[in-house]
Amino acid sequence: MGDSVASVDSPGRTTDVDFALVGHQESWRAAADVLGVLRGPERTPLPDDEIRDILPWIPPRAVCHVDVGSIAGAKARGLYIDSFISPDRLEADYIRENIARVRAAAACAIRAGAKIVSLGGFSSILIEGNFDQLPERHETVFTTGNTLTVGFIVQGIEKMCALEGRDLRRSTLLIVGATGDVGSGCARCLAPLVRRVLLSARNVDRLRRLAAELEADGVEVEVATPLQQFSAQADIVICAASLASPSLLLGRIAPDAIVCDAGYPKNLSPNAEIPGARVFFGGLGQITGGLRFTPDFHGVLNRHPFPDVVQGCLLEGMALALERRFEPFSQGRGFITQERVDEIEAIAARHGIRLAPLYNADGPLWPAQATIGSALGSRESASISSTDFTG
Amino acid sequence: MELAVDLKRSLSNECTSLSLSALVWQDVLAQAMTGELVAAMNFTALSEICDHPAEVADALEHAQNEKGHAAAFAAEGRKIGVEVPSNVEAKHWKRIREAFQRRITERDFIGCLIVQEIMLESFAVASYARVGKVAAGSLGKTFASIAAEEEEHIGHAMAILRAERALDAQRFDDKLYRLHLEVMTILAEMLARDCSRGHCEVCHDSCVKPSLSEICLTTAELRGASLQQYLKTLDMLGLPGEVTLVWVTQLPV
Ligand SMILES: NC(=O)c1ccc[n+]([C@@H]2O[C@H](COP(=O)([O-])OP(=O)(O)OC[C@H]3O[C@@H](n4cnc5c(N)ncnc54)[C@H](OP(=O)(O)O)[C@@H]3O)[C@@H](O)[C@H]2O)c1
Ligand SMILES: [Fe+2]
């Protein structure tokens, strides 16, 4: 009967919850794998159509316990809470339902007594401005986690440039979704380091306001809504738009451009014709002090080619929990600065949370990184597993 | 049953959507009515193991209410020209009654409440509410109002069960899990896409499940809504959500 999983003797009874992570499954395959673990290997797997029938009815709830370790010796206990937003319901049509789901997931975290809640990217966009109607929060604080996300995106760009022998100071940087929390944070951190900045999103007024802020610091900035207008001029591109599906075509870009896709769901369409571009998935960090799930989701939640890789936004809550700094580090939108990024990066680094090896849809960008990754993985016990929470 | 078959034959000539759906409604009402009669029997049995006169009166009142619900469903059937049969001996319902009866034999008052008020009522409240949304006129109103009534009277049982859980959560949850395996497995089989154990012995002909689309319902929706209601009820009792999620994902499909 798989009692070790099903019975209430499971370690689901901890009273101490340092952190909670709120996310959802981004594909039906991922959702099927999660339900498959919960159902247990001894039962016939749920048919795909059954999963599509049932998933939308599951109320948001904790799925597993998460233990994270620090290289400095600290430990933190947490919960992964899934909002069970269906992979085919990310569009605006479902916004009310999805807000209700994220709110209910947040309420689960509060009821569990989590001291800090890290919201996945998609979840934080939904709940922003919708913090009302949550149960009384007592000690629970929320962070969007976007500051550490920005930190890892910027680190990724710097690493790519170093490895590709590019001079960041001579580069033209294009940010798609530039006025968002993540996009504007990247703009503030990278603008002083590049030659020219191109900002793109749909709303021109917001673009102009951001441009004015950056220009005040002496940066050369241009804004445009249609991407085609200047995508060909960019040699570094950050995609941080909140899209319901990977639909960004990007237009013509420089043949050897560096492209960071930081979106969840991914921004870049599989049909984007960007031959020669060096694409990587940005905003990801890696835990080197140990990560364990109960029940064991090893290889199931982990859809990265490296062990213990997690989105920056979720890592922010884990890093703050290890630091015992239970505060809403990233809140609201448009407040991410270089100073705050430095601060959270220092906290993360202290606990061994660092930039993840770079990869894209085709796998690791440099085979050498894969070796580093697996060496790290084997250092941990077999029960230490990896994750890919989708926000 | 005889009548239903005849009715089907005569209506098939007209072949209007209304006449076709009357037969679907007949089966839906038959399942609901059988569920109500089973609930009435359960509450009557419960009254026999209650210690306090107030509890006895309460259980008998519930039994009476459930009989009233059954009568209301029968009356709705007549309004659309069908006789609503019931069969408390039908295979799934019989197994459910037997599971309840075992708790009676053990004089397990809390076990009885868990089976009737948490499991069977989750199923009734959620599915009646869905049916209430698609059924027109007084048929829809009856389903919706009975769903609301059932939900309301769960409140009293919830208070008793919460107090019981507060005494020893581990023991309570273990008991609930055992009952889940026994009873929710049967309910899951009833609501499964396919009838793996043959005819349900309530539907008048072949199983109504594939025909539910004629009245804008699906089995998946009834199953999903029932399991959601069940999970939410367990949440309200304070059981850990990650544990009850495992229970539900392990049910037969
Ligand atoms: N890698 C990670 O760890 C991580 C962490 C957090 C967030 N994220 C992801 O990063 C993305 C942005 O998050 P956020 O919190 O910054 O979101 P946000 O504050 O809502 O900003 C979204 C940005 O995208 C723009 N945008 C929306 N739709 C667009 C479209 N169709 N075309 C072009 N621009 C569009 C918005 O501006 P307009 O409305 O004016 O177009 C805005 O600039 C999301 O995909 C999120 O999931 C990733
Ligand atoms: Fe009833």
Degrees, nearest 5: CA angle B159-B160-B163: 85
Phi (first) and psi of residue A353, to 5 degrees: -100, 115
Is residue A42 a contact partner of residue A2, using CB atoms and an 8 Å limit? yes
Residue A120 DSSP code: P
Looking at this protein, which amino acid is placed at residue A53? D
Q: Are A305 and A373 in contact (CB under 8 A)?
A: yes
pLDDT the model gives residue B128: 94
The answer to whether B61 and B117 are in contact (CB under 8 A) is no
Predicted confidence band of residue B17 (pLDDT cuts 50, 70, 90): very low
CB-facing half-sphere around the CA of B103: CA atoms within 13 A: 26
Strand-pairing partners, residue B50, are none
For residue A241, the ligand 1 atom closest to its alpha carbon is: 24
Rounded Cα distance, A159 and A168, in Å: 10
Name the 3-class secondary structure at A19: strand
Ligand 1 centroid to Cα of residue A185, in Å, is 12
Cβ of residue B228 closer than 8 Å to a chain A Cβ: yes
Cite the beta strand spans of A177-305 per DSSP E: 196-200, 221-224, 236-239, 258-261, 278-281, 284-287, 291-294
The secondary structure of residue A306, as a DSSP letter, is S
* Residue A369, pLDDT score: 59
Residue A62 has its nearest CB partner, among B170, B241, B253, at B241
Interface of B with A in 88-127 (CB under 8 A): none
- The full set of domain ranges for chain B reads 18-249
Would the CB atoms of B241 and A13 count as touching at under 8 Å? Answer: no
Please tell me the distance from the alpha carbon of residue B173 to that of residue B170, in angstroms, as a whole number: 5
CA distance B125 to B159: 18
The reported pLDDT for the residue numbered A367 is 64
B246 at the A interface (CB within 8 A)? yes
Distance from CA of B24 to the nearest CA of A (A): 22
Distance from CA of B57 to the nearest CA of A (A): 35
In this predicted structure, what is the pLDDT of residue A390? 57
Cβ pair B173:A8 closer than 8 A: yes
Ligand minimally distant from the alpha carbon of residue A281: 1
pLDDT given for residue A102 in this prediction: 93
- How far is it, in rounded angstroms, from Cα B252 to Cα B188? 6
CA–CA gap between residue A77 and residue A11 (Å, rounded): 11
Q: Which two tokens stand for residue A232?
A: 């060909």
Instruction: Please work out whether the CB of residue A286 comes within 6 Å of at least one atom of ligand 1.
Output: no
Sorted by sequence, the CB contacts under 8 Å of residue A70 that are 6+ apart come out as A76, A289, A322, A350, A351, A352
Q: Rounded to the nearest whole angstrom, what is the distance from the C-alpha of residue A150 to the centroid of ligand 2?
A: 56
Mean pLDDT of chain B: 86
DSSP for B32-50, please give it: HHHHHHHHHHHHHHHHTT-
Specify which residues A223 forms β-bridges with. Answer: A199
Structural domain spans, chain A = 19-146+285-355, 148-284+357-382
Query: Is the pLDDT score of B124 beyond 80?
Result: yes
pLDDT at B195 over 90: no
Nearest-atom index, ligand 1, CA of A334: 19
Does any CB of chain A come closer than 8 Å to the CB of residue B242?
A: yes
* Inter-chain touch B177–A7, beta carbons under 8 Å: yes
Is any Cβ of chain A less than 8 angstroms from the Cβ of B247? yes
pLDDT of residue A330: 95
Output the pLDDT for position B20.
62
Query: Cβ(B130)–Cβ(B225) under 8 Å?
Result: yes
Is this complex scored with an ipTM above 0.90? no
Whether CATH 3.40.50.720 fits A148-284+357-382: yes
Whether B54 shows a pLDDT value over 50: the answer reads yes
Position B201 confidence tier, pLDDT thresholds 50, 70, 90: low
> Is B249 in contact with A38 (Cβ distance < 8 A)?
yes
Minimum distance, in Å, between the CA of residue B112 and any CA atom of chain A: 20
Residue reference for tokens 């012995």? B201
Please say if the pLDDT value at position B72 is more than 60. Answer: yes
Q: Would you state the structure tokens that stand for residue B156, as one six-digit string?
A: 């009293």
Gap from CA of B108 to ligand 1 centroid (Å)? 56
Task: Report the residue among A149, A207, A242 best suited for mutation to probe ligand 1: largest number of ligand atoms under 8 A from its CB.
Answer: A242
Residue whose CA is closest, atom 8 of ligand 1?
A: A121
- Enumerate the residues of chain A whose CB falls inside 8 A of the CB of residue B192: none
Q: Would you say B179 and B119 are in contact if contact means Cβ atoms under 8 Å apart?
A: yes
DSSP letter (8 states) at residue A59? P
Of residues A18, A72, A25, A82, the one with CA closest to residue A287: A72
Q: Can you name the CATH fold of B18-249?
A: Ferritin (1.20.1260)
Ligand of minimum distance to the alpha carbon of B41: 2
Which ranges of chain A have pLDDT less than 50?
Answer: 1-14, 370-388
**Biggest distance spanned by C-alpha atoms of chain A:** 66
Whole-number Å distance between alpha carbons of B131 and B151: 15
| pLDDT above 80 (res B148) | yes
The bound ligand whose nearest atom lies closest to the alpha carbon of A265 is 1
pLDDT, average across residues B166-195: 92
CA distances from B11 to A127, A334, B4, B5, B16 (A): 53, 66, 10, 10, 8
Tens digit of each residue's pLDDT (9 = 90 or more) over B81-120: 888 887 777 788 999 999 999 999 999 999 999 999 999 9
Confidence band, pLDDT 50/70/90 cuts, at residue B26: confident
Closest C-alpha to ligand 1, atom 15:
A181
